[in-house]
Amino acid sequence: MSRNETLDVGNFDVRLADVVLPIGLSLDTVVLTGRALHVESKPFKAVSPQPGNLRVTVGEKSLAAFLEKQAPGGLRDFSVRLKDGRLYIEATKNVIIDVRAKAVCTLRIVNGREVFVDLESVDVMGAGVKNLVQTQLEKLNPVLDTRDFPVEAELDSVTADEGHLIVLGRVSPPSQ
């Protein structure tokens, strides 16, 4: 019969790379940091007196690859730029001929658990087609949901700057 093993950790700093979420979005990095973690093996239990910190980073290339796989509205050849708190997205749509669509989006956190992309403006050859693009975005949202994480997490902020989407929050270990 095996016995209950325990482990006490003073500080932890875990860095995960290329984490693929169930929806297909690849997170470039997930960093978890915290203090005072107590783990028991039988039954498994992890306890921390205070939540740890969470930092998720997603780069422009990862977002473009995700959009390319999803191909919302038949769009292709995605280009994504992240700067000044916004997502600048360009893609090609074939409407008899190939036309380039441009969209500007913002990010928001919903209920501390999800990250949504909101459409600010869209332009296709000078014509506004905001409702069409908004419908496609609604199919992709939320682009990040903490229910997909293996630990309890609450999101505090989301920013888009200098080529990266950065989500900050807090995590608590699962306890059972």
Question: Does residue 86 fall inside a structural domain?
Answer: yes
Q: What pLDDT does residue 43 have? A: 78
- Cβ distance 73 to 119 under 8 Å? no
Distance CA 107, CA 117 (A): 5
Cβ neighbors of 139 (< 8 A, separation 6 or more) are 72
Of the given ranges (12-26, 103-117, 132-146), which has the lowest mean pLDDT? 132-146
Distance CA 157, CA 167 (A): 6
Question: Does residue 61 fall inside a structural domain?
Answer: yes
Q: How many domains does the chain have?
A: 1
Higher pLDDT, 142 or 62: 62
Q: What pLDDT does residue 175 have? A: 53
pTM of the shown model: 0.82
What would the pLDDT profile of 135-176 be if each residue is shown by its tens digit?
766 777 888 898 887 778 899 999 999 999 999 999 986 654
Query: Coil, strand, or helix at residue 48?
Result: coil
Question: Does residue 138 fall inside a structural domain?
Answer: yes
Question: Does residue 1 fall inside a structural domain?
Answer: no
**Residue 69: pLDDT above 70?**
yes
CA distances from 75 to 8, 72, 79, 156 (A): 51, 6, 11, 32
The residue assigned the tokens 């928001």 is 108
Of the given ranges (11-25, 33-47, 56-70, 160-174), which has the lowest mean pLDDT? 33-47
**Domain that includes residue 45, residue range:** 6-172
Q: What pLDDT does residue 1 have? A: 40
